[in-house]
Amino acid sequence: MKHIAIVGGCGHVGFPLGLALAQKLGNYTYGGGGHVDLVDINADVINSINSGQVPFQEDGAQEILSQALASKALHASNDMSLVRQAQAVIFVTGTPVDEHLNPRIKDVINVIKLYLPYMNPEQLIILRSTIYPGVFRVIDNMLTKAFGTSPKLAFCPERIVQGKGVQEIFTLPQIVSANSPEALHEAEELFSHIAPKIIHLEPEEAELAKLLTNSWRYLEFAIANQFYMMVEEKGYDFYKILSALSEDYPRAKHFAKAGFAAGPCLFKDTMQLSAFYNNKFFLGQAGMLVNEGLPDFVVSQLEARMGGSLKDKKIAILGMAFKPNNDDTRESLSFKLRKNLEFRMADVLIHDPYLDTLSLDEVLAQAEGVILGVPHDEYLGLKITVPFVDCWNVWRKEN
């Protein structure tokens, strides 16, 4: 398979995949001559990629991008008609949730409808991002009606960590599902170029596997955050207890630390799984209440440490991304922190080394109180001399 088009290819899911495929399919060791089109609507990111600049934090991406552009194995464009030339079309549009926490399945369906005039039944069509269980069959039926014959449709979910996608694509097993043996074979052949192992599932099983994976991770954070709030509210040191219970005790070695469980996937996918189970996923719903409640608890902790009021006090939030050492702010709970502080009439100061903010020295010089929003490496050795809250346990020993 020589020509791949990735719709939504300039984002956090499509871009690492495009780099991985371009590196392998464009490498003459693997037959050479392959080409990947990243089809997107974001003009700034398209221009950035085509000029050789990685548009966001992605470890290991720069070298592969430079090589792929030099060999003409990769190109970004807003030209939808490029899909017509591709042998495989990969859609990375997922299923978000709306303001009522219901899955918005029309998002991915509408994108595929938009590209239907450029698609044909000879192409392998791959869904890559998280989709709500049952959406695969809906799209299969929609394409069958449009083509007049059954399409070659596959669902091959990504399971990469944000910012390390390029590295993990080459090391993680790839789940592959499809609507026919032919589609399954072609999808397996494609991903065999970049994945060390292929795992077969039925489409509905693959849809659930992705949701279960992210919901499990979300619940790991939730139990740690619940314990943190429970222990700290009663006046005890959560991390002192955690250290004691986990020291040389193998059954506690995977116990998660407290911290803000944010980002575009974990919360959303937990709510999708809840909707799938007719809103009877009580653990997931409870986990959401815990994780989404942590910012308010942290602000209340700082408020108590500063005499019971934050009014007119300069409070710094360090870190606005949703995870450490990353520039992605999507669904970051640091913004919820800011809202809670503003509601308490604090004067909020912001710093993040990956964003256009005040300098760290300037923020710390003014701050009367500090909250660690996300533990970027730049914050690890700081000596904080004003009241602070660090639910991540980065500064507690240092201070």
- Nearest in space to 105 (alpha carbons), one of 130, 80, 83: 130
pLDDT band (50, 70, 90) for residue 60: very high
Cα–Cα distance measured from residue 21 to residue 128, given in angstroms and rounded to the nearest whole number: 14
pLDDT band (50, 70, 90) for residue 30: very low
* Average pLDDT for 350-376: 96
Quick one: pLDDT at residue 1? 72
* Average pLDDT for 345-372: 97
Burial 51-87 (b: 16+ CB within 10 A, else e): eeebbbbbbbbeebbebbbebebbbbbeeeebbeebe
Q: Is the pLDDT of residue 397 over 80?
A: no
Beta strands in 278-399 (DSSP E): 314-318, 347-351, 369-372, 388-389
Structural domains of the chain, ranges and CATH numbers in brackets: 3-201 (3.40.50.720), 217-389 (3.40.50.720)
Q: Are 7 and 126 in contact (CB under 8 A)?
A: no
Quick one: pLDDT at residue 180? 98
Lowest mean pLDDT among 108-112, 136-140, 195-199, 251-255: 251-255
Kindly report the average pLDDT of the chain as a whole number. 94
Cα–Cα distance measured from residue 22 to residue 90, given in angstroms and rounded to the nearest whole number: 14
Instruction: Give the number of other CB atoms < 10 A from CB of residue 278.
Output: 7
- Nearest in space to 7 (alpha carbons), one of 104, 59, 76: 76
Three-state DSSP class for 378?
helix
Beta bridge partners of residue 37, listed in sequence order: 5, 75
Q: In a 10 Å sphere around its CB, with 0-12 CB exposed, 13-18 middle and 19+ buried, how is residue 138 labelled? A: middle
Question: Is the dihedral angle over the CA atoms 262, 264, 266, 267 positive or is it negative?
Answer: positive
Quick one: pLDDT at residue 32? 63
How does pLDDT run across 194-235, given as a tens digit for each residue? Answer: 999 999 999 999 999 999 999 999 999 999 999 999 999 999
Tell me the whole-structure pTM to 2 decimals: 0.91
How does pLDDT run across 229-254, given as a tens digit for each residue? Answer: 999 999 999 999 999 999 999 999 88
Q: Which residues contact 1 (CB under 8 A, 6 or more apart)?
A: 25, 34, 87, 88, 124, 186, 189, 190
Question: Chain-centre distance of CA 320, in angstroms?
Answer: 15
Q: Is the pLDDT of residue 34 over 90?
A: no
Cα–Cα distance measured from residue 174 to residue 246, given in angstroms and rounded to the nearest whole number: 33
